[in-house]
């Protein structure tokens, strides 16, 4: 099970990568599309296209990382739910035959004669 510090670190990494993706997508869109009436700037458009491709690949990598992490968590939970908690072998309880105590015979004062 991951510790709180590890979870916090992963959350910060995801937040930072998501913020970076947003910034890269906006910058790529700006460089790709340019101003409303741009002169033909081939280099700017190439850089914009390259940045948008990098952003798409980064988003895809984040998606795969999340999928791998979810799968690892599911496997860990499943393995913990199946394995016993203690590693010591348990001793089965002994199976003795139940002994029925002997019945007392009624005393002569309790016996009535049958009619």
Q: Which residue has the tokens 């390259």?
A: 50
pTM above 0.95, yes or no: no
As a whole number of angstroms, the distance between CA 58 and CA 28 comes to 13
Annotated domain spans of the chain: 4-82
pLDDT single digits (tens) 13-39: 888 888 888 888 888 777 777 665 666
CB 40 within 8 A of CB 77: no
Beta strands in 1-114 (DSSP E): none
């Amino acid at each position: 099970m991951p510790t709180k510090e590890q979870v916090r670190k992963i959350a910060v990494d995801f937040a930072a990568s998501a913020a970076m993706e947003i910034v890269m997508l906006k910058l790529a869109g700006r460089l790709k599309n340019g101003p409303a009436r741009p002169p033909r700037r081939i280099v700017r458009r190439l850089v914009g296209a390259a940045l948008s491709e990098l952003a798409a690949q980064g988003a895809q990598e984040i998606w795969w990382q999340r999928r791998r992490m979810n799968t690892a968590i599911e496997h860990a939970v499943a393995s913990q739910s199946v394995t016993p908690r203690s590693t010591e072998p348990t001793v089965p309880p002994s199976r003795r035959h139940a002994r029925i105590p002997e019945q007392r015979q009624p005393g002569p004062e309790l016996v009535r004669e049958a009619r």
